[in-house]
Amino acid sequence: MRNLYLVFLTLILHCVTYGQSTPPSQTTASPTDLNERIRMLEENLRLANQGLAKTVDDLLWYQKLGDVAAIDKIRYGSKPPHVVKNPTGQGATNPVVIPAYTFVPKKFTSAKKLPLLIFVHDGIHGDFSTLYAHVVRELLDQGYLIIAPEYRGSAGYGGEFYKQIDYGDYENDDVLAGKRWAVENMPQADPDRVGIIGWSHGGMISLMNIFDHPDDYKVAYAGVPVTDIIARLGYKPQAYRTIFSEATHIGKDPSDNVAEYRRRSPVWNAQKLKTPLLIHTNTNDEDVNVLEVESLINALKAHEKKFEYKIYQDAPGGHSFNRLDTKLARDSREEIYKFLARYLTPPSPLR
């Protein structure tokens, strides 16, 4: 099927080429040119599909949660791009505009102030999709306001935004900017009761936020979090490692700048912990190997930090074990909610 697709694209390119008025000798593309054009067409198609999927999923939020939440999608400014092709060009250093979802529980509209949760999605190029709708509903039922930032690099917003990802750095600032926007612009948000939660890459961002900005958060949860980029690249395939040396990611290989990889890794920032923290991991995680999270746990213990954690043994679901619709997942989320409630005191906590 893929070969037929490539042949089809090649025929289109040839038709476009020979439809021009210049002589055929000047329009015949080399195999290299054709392959590059096909690559660009495929990339554009992929980005278009992401945009369509995002549009559909935005509508699904209202269908799934419109009965219990006032839902909005807002935008705010964050840091400028970390890679600027022409720094002197018009608007080159303008802030990157970050979309974010906000959820306000309808049954607590009369409450003067409510606790605020910053919900950070997973995936380096993921997005906040309705796969999280059941978790959001559970949090809304307890009385939390929620903001879910679509930090730079998130899928569904076109190629330029997608390529802005700065693994472990600027997207942390995008999330912090979302928290500060919510405190200033959501009237019910209590600035003294703000927590942050996330799984996987979202867990990594949550950790770096509390390590670098402890005064902004009252509590944090990190589920199966990426914690050590250096170790992670060691057990991932070469294709995965190559991505991070590209300019659209970190820009250098660890061997060229190991200090930068350390700076962006939570395990090497464990000494900064001041915020109450709960960590979950799973021994059969097929994405974030348990060794990463165990290293963070050991580092926090070495620095005599107070925190809570649980290592699940071969829990069904692997990387997604406590985001599923299973009893084990619900029980695990109950642990999270009870931990958060200790510090954020929602109006209707789990009993």
| Mean of pLDDT over the chain | 90
Most confident of 85-99, 152-166, 208-222, 237-251: 208-222
Residue 22 has pLDDT above 50, yes or no: no
Is 12 part of a structural domain of the chain? no
Is 97 part of a structural domain of the chain? yes
> Which residues have a Cβ under 8 Å from the Cβ of 232 and sit 6 or more positions away?
226, 288, 289, 292
CA dist., res. 29 & res. 225, Å (int): 47
Burial of 166-198, coded b for 16+ CB within 10 Å and e otherwise, reads bbbbbbbbbbbbbbebbbeebebbbeebbbbbb
Say what angle helices 133-142 and 327-344 make with each other, to 10 degrees: 40
Q: Which two tokens stand for residue 205?
A: 């961002």
Is 95 part of a structural domain of the chain? yes
Is 241 part of a structural domain of the chain? no
pLDDT confidence bin for 65, thresholds 50/70/90: very high
The domain spanning residue 164 has which CATH number? 3.40.50.1820
Q: Which domain holds residue 84?
A: 53-228+265-344
Contact between 266 and 204 under an 8 Å Cβ cutoff? The reply is yes
Is 223 part of a structural domain of the chain? yes
Is 259 part of a structural domain of the chain? no
Is 190 part of a structural domain of the chain? yes
Q: What's the structural domain count of the chain?
A: 1
Is 245 part of a structural domain of the chain? no
Which pLDDT tens digit goes with each residue over 238-270?
A: 888 888 877 777 878 888 889 999 999 999 999
Contact between 294 and 281 under an 8 Å Cβ cutoff? The reply is yes
